[in-house]
A = this chain, B = another copy of it.
Amino acid sequence: MTKAVPMTEIWRGDILESMHSGHAVVCNADGDIVHAWGDPDAIVLPRSSSKMIQALPLVESGAADAAGLSEQHLALACASHNGSAIHNDMVNAWLAAQGFGDEDLICGPQEPRDIGIRDALIRCNDPVCRVHNNCSGKHTGFLTLSKHLGAGGNYTDMDHPVQKAVLAAHEELTHETSTGYGIDGCSAPNHASTLKGMARAMAFYAAAREGNGTRETAAARLRTAMAKHPEYVAGEGRACTNLMRAMGHSVAIKTGAEAYFVAMLPEQKLGVALKIIDGATRASENALAAILVKLGVLDPKHPEAQKYLDAPIRNWDGLQTGVMRAASTLS
């Protein structure tokens, strides 16, 4: 982690208050590095930035089509969502259609980020459910694949057919043998790889075209679903949703816990992987936005881009007390 370079600066007045460093890699469709900051060989856990890889077997196997999943369902399978009504309602209906319920999800319950939904639960003394967990779409996808494969059992076990398929996809797309895994916030395994490996996998998604075989078709469908329906990938007020809208639905991006972030640029056939080494999401959002500007797909003057690029820091009284901006290394 020692080779990380400064990426995001936090200013309060004219004082540099805090600073975030990281690693980032941009790969082309041949898997070659076209830009790199820090150490492209740093091994990290991509966390939720790997959700489109975790959802690949769902589509590739035919399970998604057998279950009649829409583009919105595919976006939700790749989501770290807010637990807003559109997310909760779709997960509940999807589970029911497959003959499952909240209790079949292996992710734990998580208070929804959506404040209106949170407050309604508190007012009604309703319990926080697993459906509200930001990963419930991914888990419903796992359940759908498990049922399609006739597998049963704990779909988060490493030797379960669902997780075997996820690991195979991860290693084939990163062109690496994963050096290990961690257990994610939702209890699913999450596979380590180099930043370079993840950027390579994202370049595959970026270059994938429907009709070019089963894998490319599945990858292209997931990427398109994310970019077309960004409200299902995260939700209102979130960087993934705001930035995909700001780029006119032409690029797919996905955040991950501990400040991972990836992007898939279909027109340029480029993949991006980024990790802020201290795990701060404010910085991964800022740094990814700066890289998207550099790659020519995000207009730095767009009001939604400004929220992340040159982000005002406000205090409890609404006064602007500082600003977050990308370090000169990224410009």
Contact = CB atoms under 8 A, between A and B. Distances in A.
A45 B15 contact: yes
Interface string A1-33: 100000000101111111111000000000000
A183 B16 contact: no
B258 A108 contact: no
Interface string A186-206: 110010100000000000000
A248 interface: no
Interface stretch (A68-76, A85-93, A94-102, A273-281): A273-281
Contact of A107 (B44, B119, B316): B316
Give the residue among A110, A180, A258, A317 with the most B Cβ atoms within 10 A.
Answer: A317
A210 to B, nearest CB: 35
Nearest to A257: B17
A181 interface: yes
Contact of A259 (B18, B187, B192, B317): B18
A62 interface: no
A321 B185 contact: yes
A43 B20 contact: no
Given A119-B122, A122-B122, A278-B278, A15 B182 contact: yes
A111 to B, nearest CB: 9
Given A192-B15, A321-B185, A316 B278 contact: no
B316 A17 contact: no
Nearest to A105: B317
A312 interface: no
A150 interface: no
Contact of A316 (B19, B110, B119, B122): B110
A278 B20 contact: yes
A194 B15 CA distance: 12
Contacts of A279: 10, 17-18, 280
Contacts of A180: 13-15
Interface in A42-84: 43-45
Contacts of A12: 45, 182-183, 190
A10 B187 contact: no
Nearest to A8: B278
15 contacts: A12-B182, A13-B180, A15-B43, A17-B182, A18-B259, A18-B277, A21-B278, A108-B315, A109-B316, A123-B123, A182-B322, A184-B321, A185-B315, A185-B321, A279-B280
Interface of A: 1, 10, 12-21, 43-45, 106-110, 119, 122-123, 133, 179-187, 190, 192, 258-259, 277-280, 283, 315-319, 321-322
Give the top 5 A-B pairs by smallest Cβ distance, nearest first: A108-B317, A108-B316, A12-B182, A18-B279, A278-B278
